[in-house]
Amino acid sequence: MTFHVEGLVAIVVFYLAILAVGIWAAWKTKNTGSEGDRSEAIIVGGRDIGLLVGGFTMTATWVGGGYINGTAEAVYVPGYGLAWAQAPIGYSLSLIVGGLFFAKPMRSKGYVTMLDPFQQLYGKRMGGLLFIPALMGEMFWAAAIFSALGATISVIVSININISVIISALIATMYTLVGGLYSVAYTDVVQLFCIFLGLWISVPFAMSHPAVTDIGLTAVHRVHQAPWLGSINSLDIYTWLDNFLLLTLGGIPWQAYFQRVLSSSSATYAQVLSFLAAFGCLVMALPAILIGAIGASTAWNETDYGTPDPMTNKEADMILPIVLQYLCPVYISFFGLGAVSAAVMSSADSSILSASSMFARNIYQLSFRQNASDREIVWVMRITVFLFGASATAMALLASSVYGLWYLSSDLVYIIIFPQLLCVLFIKGTNTYGAIAGYLFGLVLRITGGEPYLYLQPLIYYPGCYLDENNIYVQRFPFKTLAMLTSFFTNIIVSYLAKYLFESGTLPPKLDFLDAVVARYSREHMDKATLVKSDNIVLNELAPVNPRHSLTLSSTFTNKEAFNYVDSSPELSNAEDN
């Protein structure tokens, strides 16, 4: 392949524009937040993100390189097609469910990160345990999309993959480092516009190429390959449902999502942003679906790509950049490439900031340095942004199965964090014992189910499992959802069992080593006042919280507290008087 100077220039222009917007946003908001609240301003943007910018940044968090490339690939791959392109519908429903049930309780409490309620109810150690799958999900996601970006750029521009990954990671890390959520949010506006414009400009040119058959015909009739609408085999229905539930419910408990929710100027805005982003995800998936359909409708031997076709060449995951290069004019393909690059960075920067926010606040500050100054927390965030960005880059360059690691870590988010989030927000009476038991049961059931992407053989063979071409057993049974439900019910059962055993006197109080049931006071648990600063949220949005001097079960978070929004409570009246 020849080196394309024009393509390199196009990418440089896109990257410089995004970097300039990120630095401008950091400069514009450098004085946001009072002297002692700069760290929260970086994490949640001063809680004044409006509908327009908020809608763009929440949409761009999901509409990244994996979303665009993965949707096009699913539609293109013979035997799968649109029927298996679950991300657009799954993530859109995830945002709707998150907006209906999770956004308002989280935002009205004035939390700063997703892990705050866990540390409030379950303590610092449990918060640290939940940080592990949350961090793995964010880091492996960033690494996977950096890896995809390197391959994408190398297809069209023919530059070294490693160089493209390193430069992209440096730019995303740089503006996240200097501006936090503000820079991420404002660059998301530019990136989403680039994605929309770049891909929609490319579609008509690709569709009108002489080698492309009418996609309406190839949708239902076999021409060059199986119809791109696809079908679901009766044996695969449970696998399809398992993956769909993973996307829909497992797409909720991510810091990248709750960072936008918690940065909203009100709880109602947080819900509206979720609904806007759900619509945005559907709209942004349309050009990717069309490009996948175009790839399935192309006689590749009549193009400069030649034979064999991308599927035979094992380049199905690169179908989007291949369509841009071989079916579009040169200047259009380069513009589309810039759009894909922008899509990647719009997700990578969010993941890096999310991981840094959780570490600086929930691990460093709340677990080890509760008296740390705001300036110290800001510097910890900056250092971890750089470290996590460098780590994601290294994994993208060195790991041979980044996507496999991301699949496994995203499963852990669904199986471990989602049921814990349900319990902490909506189930009264759960405690640390149940949380740990649910965590371990879910983890064991997921690992023993195997993972084909990592060539990990299962230890438990569920009904319907079969050997694939790599001699790895693949599960057809919805074992991921089974593991999630097991984790959820284990948390509830063990929590109530521990509560009964201690309160009935069956077990002596000294055995309550986690201080979760009978302890009158424990430094392990976070008080509400430690987690939330009332001046960060509007008082009429703050759910009533009674001051707590002990951590008995009767004073913990309840589902009633999550849904009652009382404007004129005694607590709020006292706060207003003060």
* pLDDT recorded at residue 150: 75
Comparison of pLDDT for 475 and 537, the residue scoring more: 475
CB atoms within 10 A of CB 526: 24
Asked if residue 555 has pLDDT above 80, the reply is: no
Average pLDDT of span 94-104: 95
Choice among 62-76, 390-404, 516-530 with the minimum mean pLDDT: 516-530
Q: How far is it, in rounded angstroms, from Cα 259 to Cα 249? A: 17
Contacts 24+ apart (CB under 8 A), 309-313: 309/224, 309/225, 310/76, 311/76, 311/77, 311/78, 311/225
Residue 526 is predicted with a pLDDT of 61
Q: For 533-544, what is the mean pLDDT?
A: 43
pLDDT at 402: 59
Mean pLDDT to the nearest integer, 530-537: 52
Position 336 scores a pLDDT of 80
pLDDT band at residue 444 under the 50/70/90 scheme: very high
* Predicted pLDDT at 213: 95
Tokens of 50: 């409006």
pLDDT at 566 over 60: no
Of 55-64, 424-433, 478-487, the range with the lowest mean pLDDT is: 55-64
- The answer on pLDDT for 252 being more than 70 is yes
pLDDT at 147: 77
Question: What pLDDT score does 212 carry?
Answer: 95
* pLDDT given for residue 72 in this prediction: 92
Give the list of residues 6+ apart from residue 204 with CB closer than 8 angstroms, or none.
none
pLDDT score of 574: 44
Q: Which of 17-21, 67-71, 130-134, 400-404 has the highest mean pLDDT?
A: 130-134
Q: Is 416:439 a contact under the CB 8 Å cutoff?
A: yes
Give the pLDDT band of residue 578 (cuts 50, 70, 90): very low
> What is the pLDDT averaged over residues 239-250?
94
535 Cβ contact list (under 8 Å, min separation 6): none
pLDDT band at 208 (very low <50, low <70, confident <90, very high): very high
What is the pLDDT at residue 535?
Answer: 44
| Highest-scoring range by mean pLDDT, 142-156, 273-287, 551-565 | 273-287
The whole-number average pLDDT for the span 489-503 is: 95
Query: For 301-333, what is each residue's pLDDT tens digit?
Result: 999 888 889 999 888 888 988 898 899 998 888
Average per-residue pLDDT in the chain? 82
- Inform me whether the pLDDT recorded for 19 exceeds 60: yes
Instruction: State residue 143's pLDDT score.
Output: 84
With a CB cutoff of 8 Å and minimum separation 6, the contacts of 387 are none
CA distances, 371 to each of 46, 361, 366, 536 (Å): 21, 12, 9, 19
Q: What is the pLDDT of residue 553?
A: 35
pLDDT band (50, 70, 90) for residue 442: very high
Which H or E run contains 466?
strand 466-467
Length of the chain counted residue by residue? 578
* 17-31, 140-154, 272-286, 390-404, range with greatest mean pLDDT: 272-286
pLDDT on residue 560:
41
pTM for this entry: 0.85
- What pLDDT is recorded for position 544? 39
How far apart CA 160 and CA 496 sit, in angstroms, is: 57
Tens digit of each residue's pLDDT (9 = 90 or more) over 126-160: 989 999 999 988 888 888 778 777 777 776 676 77
Residue 440 has pLDDT above 90, yes or no: yes
462-471 pLDDT, tens per residue?
999 999 888 8
First to last CA, the chain: 70
Question: Pick from 106, 46, 45: which is nearest to 536 by CA?
Answer: 46
Tell me what percent of the residues of the chain surpass a pLDDT of 90. Answer: 40
